[in-house]
Amino acid sequence: MSALQLNYSMLIQADYSEAILTYLTRHYDPEHKFSFTDPLDESRAEQWMAWQHGGLGPMQGQANHFNRFAKERIAYGMQRYTGETERLVGILDSRLKGQDYLVGNKYSIADIASFGWIHMLRFSGVNLDDFPNLKAWWERINARPAVQKGLSVPTKPGIPDNDGYLQKIKDDQEFAQKEKTLAEQIKKAKEQYGYKYSSP
């Protein structure tokens, strides 16, 4: 694995800034393996990176906070941020209808920017199975050997990825019960505030 591939793979583990992806692309991707020479595709990739940095990352992070880490279960926060995460992943799902990747039909920095969040979507209280185009995209990227290698640097994260989450549900009855309770709390919060899913 080249230094460039390793650097890109490491970025998928967390919400690194758009500036870092842009820097790596400009300085370490002269062959444009993960970026574009076409100005329109370059602009589209930057738009998707900004979209992730200003939308998906912060909103899914808040869903994690209210659904997992807040000491009190605050119904408004749970439905607001879980719902907004669903809306945003719905945008990705629509974008990926009939295409394998977000921009230029190739794996690029646009995909790298969002993959880390989608990799742990189930943990956020959102059912990946409800978004078939997005699920196929996630599976496609997750199957890449360099991505798997990058996900293990320095070690696999403590938060379960989508497959790990489902496996833990099967293997750990206590975890499964807690997740069932959490899903019921999210559903109740949505009902309390009249939440209805809507995404372009």
Find the CATH number of the domain harbouring 96.
1.20.1050.10
48-83 pLDDT, tens digit each: 999 999 999 999 999 999 999 999 999 999 999 999
46: tokens are 């930057």
pLDDT greater than 50 at residue 175: yes
pLDDT at 16: 52
pTM of the model: 0.88
Domain assignment present for 197: no
| pLDDT band, very low/low/confident/very high, at 196 (cuts 50, 70, 90) | very high
Does residue 98 belong to any structural domain of this protein?
A: yes
Cα distances from 17 to residues 62, 100, 126, in angstroms, run 17, 24, 24
Give the pLDDT score at 10: 39
What letter does residue 125 receive in the DSSP assignment?
T
Average pLDDT, the chain: 90
Assigned domain for 14 exists: yes
Identify the residue with better confidence: 128 or 20.
Answer: 128
State residue 152's pLDDT score.
Answer: 85
Q: Provide the residue range defining the domain that includes 182.
A: 3-192
Q: Is residue 200 part of a domain?
A: no
Number of folded domains that form the chain? 1
- Residue 14 confidence (pLDDT): 45
Burial class (CB in 10 A: 0-12, 13-18, 19+), 35: buried
pLDDT tens column, 14-53? 445 688 888 888 899 999 999 999 999 999 999 999 999 9
* Position 199 in a domain: no
How much of the chain exceeds pLDDT 70, in percent? 92
- Preceding peptide of 154 cis, ω within 30°: yes
CB burial of 140-171 (b: ≥16 within 10 Å; e: otherwise) equals: ebbeeebbeebbeeeeeeeebbbebbeeebee
Summarised one tens digit per residue, pLDDT across range 142-163 is 999 999 998 888 777 778 899 9
